[in-house]
Amino acid sequence: MNILRKIIKNKLEITVLAIVIVLALLAHGYNMFHFPPYFDDEGTYMSQAWSILNLGKLAPYTYWYDHAPLGSLLIAVWIKITGGFFTFGNSIDSGRVFMLLIQLLNVALIYKIATKLSNKIAAFISIILFSFSPLSITLHRLIFLDNIMVFWLLLSLYTLLVKPLKISMVALSAFSLGLAALTKESAFFFIPPLFITLLAQSSHKNRHFILVKWVAIFGGVIIFYCLYALLKGELLPDSILNSSKHVSLIETFMWQLSRKGGFFLDKSSEFYYTFMQSWLNTDPILVIGGIGASLMNLIIGIKRKSFFIVSIFSLSYFIYLIRGGIVNDQYLIPVLPLVSLNMGLLISEVVSMFKGRLSILRYASLFLIVIILIVFYSKNLGLYSLNYTKNQIETLLWLKSNAQEKISVGDGYGLVDMWYGNTDNIYEYKGYQHYWKVEDDPQLREELLLNDWKNIDYLIITPRMQRDFQINTFPMLKTFLSHADLVKTINVEGNQEIKNKNVLISLSGPINIYKKQNISKILLDSAWAYYKSAFIKSYGQSVDPSREYKTTSEGQSYAMLKAVFQNDKPTFDGIWSWTKDHLRYRNQDKLISWLWGEKDGKEQLIDSNNATDADEDIALSLILASNKWNNPKYLDEAKVLLNDIWENAVVRVNGKYYILPAVNGFDKPDGYVLNLSYFSPASYRVFSTVDKIHPWGKLADDSYSTLEELSKIKNNKTDLPPNWIFVTNDGELISAKKYMGKDSDNYGFDAFRTLWRVSLDYKWFGEKKAEKYLKDIDPFFSSQIKDNKKIYSMYSLDGKPIVNYTSLSTNVGPLSVFAVSNSKKAEELYNSSIYKKFNFEQGYWGDKNNYFDQNWAWFGTALYTNSLNLPQGILDLYKKPLLLKRINSNEY
């Protein structure tokens, strides 16, 4: 009955309170899933809750005491009670509903505290400011540990205000403060004001017991947190323990204290920036009014205890903020209820000066305050209408359908949603990982990524990460980015504007998804980058360190081929210009002289003779370049070269065309010396599309005919081509030993290139002869692998190894064979003999100074990984030569 009577008596208060609280919850809750954008930290806390529920650990990654554990534990309990992470939408949404609950509790506590300290008017003003300030709504909607900490803090304060101050209440207060500290360490800075409140509120009759209880219980909570760390061996820093690297509570705590943000009045300090940019901008009323009221209340507090208490709470925290440490947006959260209380108390005090006949003014002024607030706060209606989480949600959907089972790296908001269904340890989980952890958690780097950025598949760059990438180094992820392609930009939010942009809100915007390039592309890219730095002078001269830094036309041709395949036009142009300027001085033709270098103390042309393979390859690269960069100038230059090659270096013997190694020196009285590795049928087919005058097609066919013939001679048990051969004037193929020495008859450092060139013909044009030729060789190489586990660099044609070593370049020979005949063997050979020798950090294979190896490992890899693409246009031209018939058709 008593209670009922009381309720009726307080009907007005209860009705108004109910309305205010409902409005407060609406203001907080309406549109809270869409505004502000999901913040990285929110995801971190949710992931910790996930970890507690799924892994039984405080954090999915190594817990290093950076966030006190209680907040995540409470969220975990909330998730458990409400039936999972996705009860209210995605995981962040579910956490934000918890924040709504916390908001309700905090509003209630502020109301009670203000009532205890002053009166109902103060209480209402306080909760109105606390609930409707756009700044507090923004910060309160976010899953921040500070919000939970505020609850414990307010509870701790409230319990001290209950009169008479009982020991059990003091115990509750101390315990709450302990929990506040276990939620967020900044609670420590409220110890002085709470202690002063305790002294002010306690009776002399039991003060000693109260103090002991308060200290013992608060201390106990902290001691047990330290004990927890101690039991895990993670309390003391390494420097004291002198042990191996591990996390440490004390170390983390000291680190956090040591983070510098700059002197608060300094415009570049963190405090100044956050204060002006974020807080003041969003809600000057609460920020300026709050500080002003706190200072005023300190003066009033000289005589009035309750004003003193609220004032020191607020001011001591501001002292903490300006101490010169790091200051983020959310650092304002603990002070929001305090400035609201200060303003509430002060305003109520001022308006209650209107007494008696003037009491009408009291209500008028209160009404006015509410109007002012409505007018001011209605500038920020974006809180209730903007959708800033759409991009983020869309990104997760995209990832779920495109990057399952892939390791993608992004910011915290996506963690739990992307982990759904995961039961693995996070260090083995091929899914979504946090960008800071990828960079900083040694265990994650070692166990999941194997210390190799190439094991990352996707990088999702949110606006928040973009900002971090500007400030911090992120060596691993930035390396990844330089080898990744933008595959998707998610921007479904459209152009939404909000007037007062604080830092949190500015973290909305389009999200870019980068996908790691093909591993072979990455490899070839970095190899090319290294090659350029090691072997090509900036103006386009390639040099061979093993040949006293001489330049060969072959080196220039290799570089031009690689440049065009790498789509590196500047380098290509540089090499080609240098080549033209230095190596093209022959009177009779425009072919390229083969050797340049130091002679008689001076850099000059050493030998003006050409090397036909280099001319062929340069012509090929020019044709490809003209096609790739759509520039007919290259094509014209190619045509000149082709004409001169044919006219000067192709001979016809007994009805068959042969290409000579050079214009001079290989035409002997009894016939011609030939190098089989200069036979390049794929190039000839390309030449045939641009040079209709010369029968390049026939040269290609004749080349095969020569190769076939050689594989059939009596003592060739391997079907391999020799390095050199001699064609007599009668067209008979005999040993070139007489002119070229003892290795002429062997397969080796020249001949392996033949296999590569033939293989290229198959890859580009699907040439049947190429396929057959290589498949015939397969058995020999296969048997070598079976017997010797490797393929030596040189063999006699009857199959005997000439040397007992193997080398990078010659392995390209068998690789070119297997690439056509047996993909499994090709993979094994490639991985064991070439890929394994690649240094990704530096970009070279094996011996970094070996010019020949670096070139041929590149060509071999490019061939094997199908990275040498013949432009479709050339293939079309080859397959369907322009027919005059078409010109005469109806189109005319």
Partner 1 sequence: MFNKILIAFLIIITGYISTAVLVEAGILSFIVLLFSLIVLVQSLFTLIWMLYAWENPDEMNLHKSPKEFLSPKYKFSLLVPARYEEKVIADTLKAISKLNYPKEMYEAKILIREDDAGTIKNAQMALRGSEKENIEIITFNSYPINKPHSLNIGLKNAKNEIVGIFDAEDELHRDILQVINTTLIRENADVIQSGVQLMNYKTRWFSMLSVLEYFFWFKSGLLFFSKVGKTTPLGGNTVFIKTSWLKMVGGWDEGMLTEDADMGIRLSRYGAKTKVVYDELHTTREESPVDIKNFIRQRTRWDQGFLQILKKGDWAKLPTVRQRVFAFYILLSPFPQSILFAIAPILVMIAITQKLPVPITLFTFLPLYLFIIQILVQIVASYEFTKAYKLKFPILTPFKIFITFFPYQLLLLYSSIRSLYRILRSQYSWEKTSHENIHRAESKNLNLYEYST
Interface with partner 1 by CB under 8 A: which residues? 56, 164-168, 202-203, 205-206, 208-209, 212-213, 216-217, 220, 223-224, 227-228, 231-232
Minimum distance of partner 1 from residue 247's CB (angstroms) = 14
Specify whether the CB–CB gap between 244 and 233 falls below 8 A. Answer: no
Measured at the CA of 620, the angle between CA 614 and CA 621, to 5 degrees, comes to: 90
Give the whole-angstrom CA distance, residue 169 versus residue 160. Answer: 7
Q: 164 or 284: whose CB is closer to partner 1?
A: 164
Give the whole-angstrom CA distance, residue 120 versus residue 781. Answer: 94
Give the whole-angstrom CA distance, residue 29 versus residue 39. Answer: 17
Minimum distance of partner 1 from residue 306's CB (angstroms) = 19
Minimum distance of partner 1 from residue 109's CB (angstroms) = 19
Give the whole-angstrom CA distance, residue 619 versus residue 645. Answer: 10
Minimum distance of partner 1 from residue 227's CB (angstroms) = 6
Going from the C-alpha of 785 to that of each of 317, 746, 830, the distances in angstroms are 74, 19, 13
Q: 50 or 413: whose CB is closer to partner 1?
A: 50
Minimum distance of partner 1 from residue 216's CB (angstroms) = 5
Q: Which residues in 824-864 belong to E strands, given as ranges? A: 838-839, 844-845
Minimum distance of partner 1 from residue 55's CB (angstroms) = 12
Minimum distance of partner 1 from residue 208's CB (angstroms) = 5
Task: Print burial letters for 314-353: b (CB count within 10 Å at least 16), e (below 16).
Answer: bbbbbebbbebbbbbbbbbbbbbbbbbbbbbbbbbbebee
Q: 56 or 669: whose CB is closer to partner 1?
A: 56
Give the whole-angstrom CA distance, residue 434 versus residue 441. Answer: 10
Q: Residue 816: name the closest of 765, 781, 768 by CA.
A: 781
Amino acid letter for position 195: F
Q: How many residues does the chain have?
A: 892
Q: 212 or 299: whose CB is closer to partner 1?
A: 212
Q: 173 or 389: whose CB is closer to partner 1?
A: 173
Q: 228 or 469: whose CB is closer to partner 1?
A: 228
Q: Residue 854: name the closest of 431, 617, 529, 406 by CA.
A: 529
Kindly state the tokens that stand for 628: 């790739």
Specify whether the CB–CB gap between 178 and 217 falls below 8 A. Answer: yes
Give the whole-angstrom CA distance, residue 715 versus residue 731. Answer: 19
Q: 12 or 81: whose CB is closer to partner 1?
A: 81
Q: 26 or 212: whose CB is closer to partner 1?
A: 212
Minimum distance of partner 1 from residue 252's CB (angstroms) = 18
Q: 248 or 552: whose CB is closer to partner 1?
A: 248
Q: 212 or 353: whose CB is closer to partner 1?
A: 212
Q: 205 or 742: whose CB is closer to partner 1?
A: 205
Q: 23 or 216: whose CB is closer to partner 1?
A: 216
Minimum distance of partner 1 from residue 226's CB (angstroms) = 11
Minimum distance of partner 1 from residue 281's CB (angstroms) = 44
Q: Residue 293: name the closest of 347, 351, 368, 369 by CA.
A: 347
**Is the alpha carbon torsion for 596, 599, 605, 607 positive or negative?**
negative
Specify whether the CB–CB gap between 247 and 62 falls below 8 A. Answer: yes
Minimum distance of partner 1 from residue 212's CB (angstroms) = 5
Minimum distance of partner 1 from residue 177's CB (angstroms) = 16
Kindly state the tokens that stand for 141: 């909607």
Going from the C-alpha of 463 to that of each of 42, 140, 503, the distances in angstroms are 15, 21, 11
